Amino acid sequence: ISICRDLPNIEVITFSVNGISDLEPLNQCQNLSELYLRKNNITSLNELFYLKNLPRLRVLWLSENPCCGSDPHRYRMTVLRNLPSLQKLDNQAVTEEELSQALVDGEEITAPPARRSVENGCPESTESSAAESTTETESELLNFSLEETNKIREELGMKPVPRDKFSSFSPRETDCNRKKRNNVLNAILLLMKELDAEGLEIVQQTVGRRLQAFRKKELQEE
């Protein structure tokens, strides 16, 4: 997610199921309008502090993060009190009545959370991270990453990535490495939005050479 510091004009970010815990890199994304962070490792609603000065943010999906807690009403009211410009939260439309109620029931966030030593995208080993390495969760991670990656590719006018190509990870690959690879892929696709025609041609030529090198290596190994 640190790549977002270099993308001030980015409008849509989809990083669901990626072990993200810190939203500070997003505070300079002044054109951000849609942010999808479902099922990450965001532990504190104080992370909303970094989103409060994003004037165009209209859609936020934050559900299934630890910060949502056990009280759905308090969670929703706190988010809406601090981000009153939202039109949709967790795939549910925001009403004027909710915005008024949020001023009463929501908690005002005035400071960022305490810094943590856990690196985004690769949390330390805990019971929850161990549970996320189950086959079911890995499959869900792939589904979300594939769906969101193809959404970005569609916006760029590119063909969707076939599932068999996207899921060709080594069985010995760690969950952390898999998340990093997905993050790199998403970051590259997002950065491509910033390129003009000449830049895209350079990327195309570079990718072509890389693919030829990989195919040559595969033939040699066979």
Q: What is the CATH number of the domain that holds 56?
A: 3.80.10.10
Q: 54 lies in which domain range?
A: 2-105
Question: Does residue 131 lie in a domain region?
Answer: no
Instruction: Identify the three-state secondary structure at position 60.
Output: strand
Asked if residue 112 belongs to a domain, the reply is no
Domain count, the chain: 1
Q: What is the predicted pLDDT for the residue at 17?
A: 86
Tell me the per-residue pLDDT of 103-150, one tens digit each, with 9 for 90 and over. Answer: 999 999 999 887 654 444 444 444 444 444 444 444 555 555 566 666
Is residue 41 included in any domain, yes or no?
yes
For residue 6, being part of any structural domain is answered with yes
The three state secondary structure string of 2-70 is HHHHHCCCCCEEECCCCCCCCCHHHCCCCCCCEEECCCCCCCCHHHHHHHCCCCCCCEEECCCCHHHCC
Residue 20, in any domain of the structure: yes
> Which stretches of the chain score pLDDT less than 70?
115-159, 161-184, 187, 190, 222
Give domain status of residue 86, yes or no. Answer: yes
Is residue 218 domain-resident?
Answer: no
120 occurs within a structural domain: no
**154-170 pLDDT tens trace:** 665 666 766 655 543 44
pLDDT (0 to 100) of residue 99: 94
